[in-house]
Structure 1
Amino acid sequence: MSATATPYPEAVGAEAPALPAAGSSFYTAMRLLPRERREAMYAVYAFCRSVDDVADDGGPAEIRAAELDRWRAEIDALYAGRPPARVQPLAEPVRRYGLLREDFQAVIDGMAMDAFEDIVAPDEATLDLYCDRVASAVGRLSVRIFGMPDALGIRLAHHEGRALQLTNILRDIDEDAERGRLYLPREKLAAIGLDDPTPAEAIQHPRIGEVCEGLAAEAEAHYRATWDIIGRSPRRATKAPRLMAAAYRLYLDALVKRGWAPPRARVKPGKLALVAVALRHGIV
């Protein structure tokens, strides 16, 4: 699947939470948190990484479906007070921060959306549902751990999750097409005369830039809403979301500056820009 809003590293085993890749913006953001909150985020991270691996690693569909069902059952058991070993690290974060069962289940449902059949040109409602499940649901778990007020936190998760996920989709269009996937919305493709295209046909179309520009504009609107909410939220609870939003916005800006015509070079913000973001948002 297209990279989720949390940039996960290698697969993790059930025995212990994984640490994110040391060079990632997620790692830097989580290092800003107090120890208990940071460890809770690592437990959520490990769950998301493990479920993502089930959905993304191939293999017989019936085996992947059974494994995702097992994760669903184990989350249910966690909330029934009987957590199996591999969800045991989530028990304390659930208790301490009031994490909701439906958000964990939404993450599993999101990973399942393209586990068995590649997503190709979803309609806008399906794309938004996908973004909600794989990104904003993770955000809803995260903002509770960060200590944000419920109403502001839910709105922040909605907008920042979609901003980050749309940025990932735009960054990864070529890599996704190589895997037979296309997350650009059907309605925007139809507007440039593409009905039912293959991923390869879509990304090579001479007007594909119009589709990408439209999706980038939606991402920018979500970034604006994100910063508006951050500006009205307790600063101590928004250090990690601020850093993530600022770092990912560098990627979107780099993509817009590069343009959308093929061949599209992979973009990566410079180290100095990322360091500047970390310094600015890592200091309260």
Structure 2
Amino acid sequence: MSAAATTMQAATGPALPAAGSSFYTAMRLLPKERREAMYAVYAFCRAVDDVADDGGPRDLRAAELDSWRADIDALYAGHPPQRVRPLVEPVRRFGLKRDDFIAVIDGMAMDAAEDIVAPTEATLDLYCDRVASAVGRLSVRIFGMPEEAGVKLAWHQGRALQLTNILRDIDEDATRGRLYLPMEKFHRIGLMNPTPETALAHPRLGEVCAAVAAEAQEHYRQTWAVIERSPRRATKAARLMAAAYRLYLDAVIRRGWAPPRQRVKPGKLSLLLVALRHGIV
């Protein structure tokens, strides 16, 4: 993942997201037991993200992620180690699935194993499923979504949000030696073996980014189609996240892809209006 890791003391309980963030605002809309469950899932995700991005040499990162897999297995076997105990009640109360926690770890392992550079579209989709849609599958169960609609929402919203992150963070990712834009789209502009440096300097980079943005827009469209057919009480947080992240996508599209690319952030008023619109039942 391209987001900078934050310190999280998993052994002492769930870390909280930064106040003022879209995630924090969305989670504050939930009832207490659902909100606390989401914070526990958030803490787990931040912890394994820290390992993937800032966990030292690659062999140590792989070993630590294996340790997290073992801890999740122990959680579901009924004897959770200290650092996953905050997940015990969310798993019991909301039926969270082991496979989704493991998928998140597997996604982080993709970053830990090597710097991802121009993955195939299939690999990128798998990555998005693991690091974003798997988190969504955990989340929609906590939100109280019906199973089929919830899984479909997680599938589309996870990909929408992750593709938005990728487009927003292309320059930041390049400084880490990473390039998440897909290989096939570079082939279409005649760049056969892209590196972060050659890709970002290519005069037709905008065509690649625009194609990825169009895919993200379609995932947002599908996200809202599911939301509009679902109980409003169970989609409040998802609505706010979708609307807030769409502001980021719209901002990078307006900015364009020609260098120098200033990092974009929606205005506070726009975010406030989203919060007011979607934070009221």
Q: Percent identity?
A: 78
* Structure 2 CA distance for partners of 1:13 and 1:81, relative to 1, 3 Å: closer
Separation in structure 1 between the aligned mates of residue 119 and residue 61 of structure 2, nearest angstrom: 22
Report the counterpart of residue 275 of structure 2 in structure 1: 278
Report the counterpart of residue 2 of structure 2 in structure 1: 2
2:226 equivalent to 1:244: no
Report the counterpart of residue 79 of structure 1 in structure 2: 76
Report the counterpart of residue 37 of structure 2 in structure 1: 40
Secondary structure of the 1:59 match is: coil
Report the counterpart of residue 175 of structure 2 in structure 1: 178
2:56 equivalent to 1:56: no
Q: Select the residue among 162, 184, 189 that pairs with 1:192.
A: 189
Q: Aligned Cα RMSD in Å?
A: 1.0
How far the C-alpha of 1:167 sits from its partner, in A, is 0.2
Alignment of 1:202-221 (within 5 A): 202-221=199-218
Amino acid at match of 1:151: E
Amino acid at match of 1:118: D
Q: Select the residue among 258, 274, 278 that pairs with 1:261.
A: 258
Could you tell me whether the CA contact under 8 Å between 1:169 and 1:183 is conserved in 2? yes
Alignment of 1:4-153 (within 5 A): 9-153=6-150
Could you tell me whether the CA contact under 8 Å between 1:119 and 1:182 is conserved in 2? yes
Q: Given the two structures, how large is their TM-score scaled by the length of structure 1?
A: 0.97
Separation in structure 2 between the aligned mates of residue 263 and residue 163 of structure 1, nearest angstrom: 25
Aligned pair count?
281
How far the C-alpha of 1:243 sits from its partner, in A, is 0.2
Separation in structure 2 between the aligned mates of residue 270 and residue 193 of structure 1, nearest angstrom: 37
Secondary structure of the 2:73 match is: helix
Could you tell me whether the CA contact under 8 Å between 1:8 and 1:21 is conserved in 2? no
Deviation string, structure 1 residues 161-214 (Cα, Å, up to 9, x no partner): 000000000000000011100000000011111111210110111000000000
Deviation string, structure 1 residues 58-84 (Cα, Å, up to 9, x no partner): 412221111111100000000000111
Could you tell me whether the CA contact under 8 Å between 2:220 and 2:242 is conserved in 1? yes
Secondary structure of the 2:13 match is: coil
Secondary structure of the 2:50 match is: helix
Secondary structure of the 1:14 match is: helix
Q: Given the two structures, how large is their TM-score scaled by the length of structure 2?
A: 0.98
Separation in structure 1 between the aligned mates of residue 61 and residue 199 of structure 2, nearest angstrom: 29
2:220 equivalent to 1:223: yes
Deviation string, structure 1 residues 241-275 (Cα, Å, up to 9, x no partner): 00000000000001111111111011000000000
Secondary structure of the 1:196 match is: coil
Amino acid at match of 1:36: E
Deviation string, structure 1 residues 82-110 (Cα, Å, up to 9, x no partner): 11110000000000000000000000000
How far the C-alpha of 1:13 sits from its partner, in A, is 3.7
Runs of 5+ unmatched residues, structure 1: none
How far the C-alpha of 1:8 sits from its partner, in A, is 6.7
Runs of 5+ unmatched residues, structure 2: none
Question: Which protein is richer in helix relative to its size?
Answer: 2
How far the C-alpha of 1:42 sits from its partner, in A, is 0.3
Could you tell me whether the CA contact under 8 Å between 2:6 and 2:50 is conserved in 1? no
